[in-house]
Amino acid sequence: MNWPAVEALPRETPIVFPVAALEQHGRHMPLFTDSLLCGEIVRRVADLPRFRDGVVFAPLQWLGNSDHHLDFPGTLSASPRVYLDLLNDAIGNFVEHGFTRIVFINGHGGNDVPGKQAIFEMRQQYRGHQHLLLLFATYWNLAAPPTDGFVQKQMGHACEWETSMMLRIRPELVGDLSKVEDVPFGNAFEPASRGWIMPDRSAPGHIGDPRSATAEKGEILFSTFADGVTKMLDRASAWDGKSWNG
């Protein structure tokens, strides 16, 4: 799009920012995993006929908040405050141009806290904008996860879920799973939240058991998560501009 095309958009058009990361994913998965997976989900959603004209999808932001992975070479990270400011500026740019519905679709767990803080801060900054909708959603939280045939019940890291999804779209990037061991999720003083870095939890850098991953499971996960994102964008598109509920 050029700027006149953006200028011509109705200001109620949802603007979608896909955000992910470039960070270590254990010994068997590539650094770009989160961005590849989030990008595939958003691609599937953006290809739906009803979104081709009614929603704008920004390019995927591959730099995320990954400081907790910096013990592993190859990880690139924007520190939490820098990342928060990056998201704030993305919001501010479009709000200043008059757009009123901004949705972040997130594909990396480390982005979740600063992402939620960003939309909280910017709603305070633009408190005079009565028709402003700011949303931050992590894709695997938008749909009930599949259970039949799956070992895991939640998202891990370079786990059964992520490894299956990578086997579906880029199997040549997945290493030898026979040499990978299970790293249990554990219970980190729940329901409290614990500050942590990856070496606190996992020496090889993954969490979960990737050995049961298959491309068939990957397709089920992609379909499930793309459907969840689709429903969220339907809700954002249908919002009446004033209600608390959506």
109-128: buried (b, 16+ CB within 10 Å) or exposed (e) per residue? bbbeebbbbbbebbeeebee
Residue 96's pLDDT band, with cuts at 50, 70 and 90, is: very high
Residue 225 maps to a domain: yes
Nearest to 206 by CA among 76, 30, 41: 30
> What's the domain range around 177?
13-238
Give the whole-angstrom CA distance, residue 186 versus residue 183: 9
Residue listed under structure tokens 């109620």: 12
Residue 115 maps to a domain: yes
Domains contained in the chain, number: 1
Tell me the CATH number at 226: 3.40.50.10310
Residue 85 maps to a domain: yes
φ, ψ at 221 (rounded to 5°): -65, -45
Residue 5 maps to a domain: no
Residue 195 maps to a domain: yes
pLDDT one-digit tens code per residue, 1-10: 999 999 999 9
Enumerate the H helices of 111-182 as residue ranges. Answer: 112-125, 160-169
Q: Which pTM value belongs to this model?
A: 0.96
DSSP characters over 71-130:
TSTT-B---HHHHHHHHHHHHHHHHHTT--EEEEEE--GGGHHHHHHHHHHHHHHTTT-T
pLDDT one-digit tens code per residue, 106-141: 999 999 999 999 999 999 999 999 899 999 999 999
